[in-house]
Each structure stands twice: as C-alpha cells, then as structure tokens.
Amino acid sequence: MSATKTSTVETTTPKISCSDVHVFYADKEAIKGVDLNIKEKQVTALIGPSGCGKSTFLRCINRMNDTIDICRVTGNIDIDGQDIYAPEVNVVDLRADVGMVFQKPNPFPKSIFENVAYGPRIHGLANGKADMADIVEKSLRRAGLWEEVKDRLDQPGTGLSGGQQQRLCIARAIAVSPSVILMDEPCSALDPIATSIVEELIDELRQNYTIVIVTHSMQQAARVSQDTAFFHLGEIVETGATEDIFTNPKDPRTESYITGRIG
C-alpha cells in the first residue's frame, strides 16, 4: 500500500525535507522510501511499533548511521535547502548543527562542567574561560538544570539522577548551538516525574530549536508534538498535525496503533 500523505498547508518552507529515503543494513531494507517535511521551531514526533525504522530514520538526519559499517542510505535529506549527504558537507559541522539526545542518558564520565564544555571546546566556540563558563551556564539554564547543579559543577556527571543526566545531555547538545535537536526516546529510561520535567523542557526548547522526537508513548507524542509521523514496517503511513492524527486518523493502521490494537 502506498503511503498516504496528508497535505497540511505549508505556509513556509520546511526546515528539513526528506524525499525517497531508503536505508539498507547490508541487504535488508530498513527504510523503504520515506518522504517527510519537518517544520522549523516545532516538535515533530515519530511514532510507530518497535522495529518500524523510526530510530534508524532519525539517525539519518545527523548521519549517525555513517558510523555503522554495513549501513547504506540513499535518497535526499535537505536541511535549509542543503543536501546533507552531499560530498562537500562536513559531517562534524552537520552534527554540531543537528544535536542528538539518546535513549539512555549517556553523560561523559567527566565533571558536569566538562560535559557541557566539551562540545564548544572542540568546535572552538568559546573565547577564553569566562566565555566558556558563560556558555555552560546558559546551556544548563536552558536545560533547566542550572539551579540543581550550580554548586557542584566539578562533580561527575554520572553521579546525577537519571532525569538530571538526560537534561545534562540536552544541555550538552544545545551548548554547541544547533538548530535541530534529535531525540531518540529521551524519556524511556526515566520515571514519570523526570519524564514530565523533560517534556516541559522540550516544550520550552521549541521556541528556539526544531525538534524531532522518537517516542513509544502515544501520550507523550500527543503532549509534546505539533506534527506527528506514523511509521510502520519502514514506511510512513500517515503524517499530519498531531491533533488530526490522534483524533481523526485516516489510515486504518494508524487507528489500530493509536487505539492499541497493533504494535
């Protein structure tokens, strides 16, 4: 069956536009021709059952799949009109512009300060120590972690609680001032209270960043996202405004999934 594309009226050009994206792991096709437009300064949720390829697709947007030897990506992914798989694109710069937050909080086993400062340092974003301290404070404030850690910046980031660690990872990602943040099930390892804090944070970050979030939780997608894309078996079944998808799904598979009958 062909992917049904809901045509939400596009007033502006999308931040990220993907067309005919295929991903192969050796001979296995994991993503089978995905077209998706992601709007600027909005939260786009990718939902779907396990193994449907939503994480794989997310990792195409900052070329994290490059690190897997057997993985091959074809098709077009443009960010601000630039094909990110073009040979002249520097993957290091791309990943500074497209930050990523992973499923399991993965702070470096270094101090809280160092965790945030590492990105700006390798990209040469800070002029001197004071500037670096400024960047670290701003990033931690934006991630809503500053008040909790300002007195112990020299302590290991791995000593924080799970929710705090994940917000530290978000601070680390925004410290290199990206325009897009990819989140791969950022709350799946967190308890409900930490989850709600991170969700609030995502909602705030929307003002400054384009966010793409993969989630297993339909409620989370409904709470934090404006647009939703439903993946099934490596294809996009349905995309559209989150409200429409959840209240008025057009494809029977979407309906089955959001009502809990498949997945």
Partner 1 sequence: MTDISQSPVVAKKPSVDEARKKRTAKRYAAEKRFEYIGLGAVLSAGLFLVILLWTIVGNALPALTYNYLKVPIDLTSEKLTEENAATFDYRKIVRNGIYEAVPGVKGRKDRKKLRGLVSSGAAIELRSEVSANPQWIGTKQEIYLPLSDTADLYLKNLMGDITRPESERKFSDIEIKWSDQLKQQGKIDTRFNSIFFTHGASREPEMAGIWGAVVGSFMTLLVTLVLSVPVGVGAAIYLEEFAPKNRLTGFIEININNLAAVPSIVFGLLGLGFFLNGVHLGWFTLGGGFPRSAAITGGTVLALMTLPTVIIASRAAIKSVPPSIREAALGIGASKTQATFHHVLPLAMPGILTGTIIGMAGALGETAPLLLIGMVAFIVDIPGGFTDPATVLPVQIFMWADFPEIGFQQKTAAAILILLCFLIAMNAIAVWLRNKFERRW
Which residues share a beta bridge with 210?
A: 180
The DSSP secondary structure of 23-40, one letter per residue, reads EEETTEEEEEEEEEEE-T
122 or 233: whose CB is closer to partner 1?
Answer: 122
109 or 252: whose CB is closer to partner 1?
Answer: 109
99 or 144: whose CB is closer to partner 1?
Answer: 99
201, 117 Cβ separation under 8 angstroms: no
69 or 151: whose CB is closer to partner 1?
Answer: 69
Q: Which residues bind partner 1 (CB under 8 A)?
A: 62, 64, 67, 69, 92-96, 99-100, 102, 104, 106-110, 118-119, 122-123, 156, 158, 169, 172-173, 175-176
182 or 237: whose CB is closer to partner 1?
Answer: 182
- Dihedral sign of CA atoms 58, 60, 66, 70 in order: positive
CA gap 60, 255 in Å, rounded: 27
Q: What is the closest distance, in whole angstroms, from the C-beta atom of residue 122 to partner 1 in the complex?
A: 6
CA gap 177, 165 in Å, rounded: 19
Q: What is the closest distance, in whole angstroms, from the C-beta atom of residue 136 to partner 1 in the complex?
A: 14
Closest CA to 202 of 215, 191, 250: 215
- Dihedral sign of CA atoms 77, 80, 86, 89 in order: negative
Q: What is the closest distance, in whole angstroms, from the C-beta atom of residue 176 to partner 1 in the complex?
A: 6
Region of residue 159 (left: phi > 0; alpha: psi -120 to 50; beta: else): alpha
Q: What is the closest distance, in whole angstroms, from the C-beta atom of residue 94 to partner 1 in the complex?
A: 8
24 or 102: whose CB is closer to partner 1?
Answer: 102
Q: What is the closest distance, in whole angstroms, from the C-beta atom of residue 87 to partner 1 in the complex?
A: 17
Q: What is the closest distance, in whole angstroms, from the C-beta atom of residue 9 to partner 1 in the complex?
A: 34
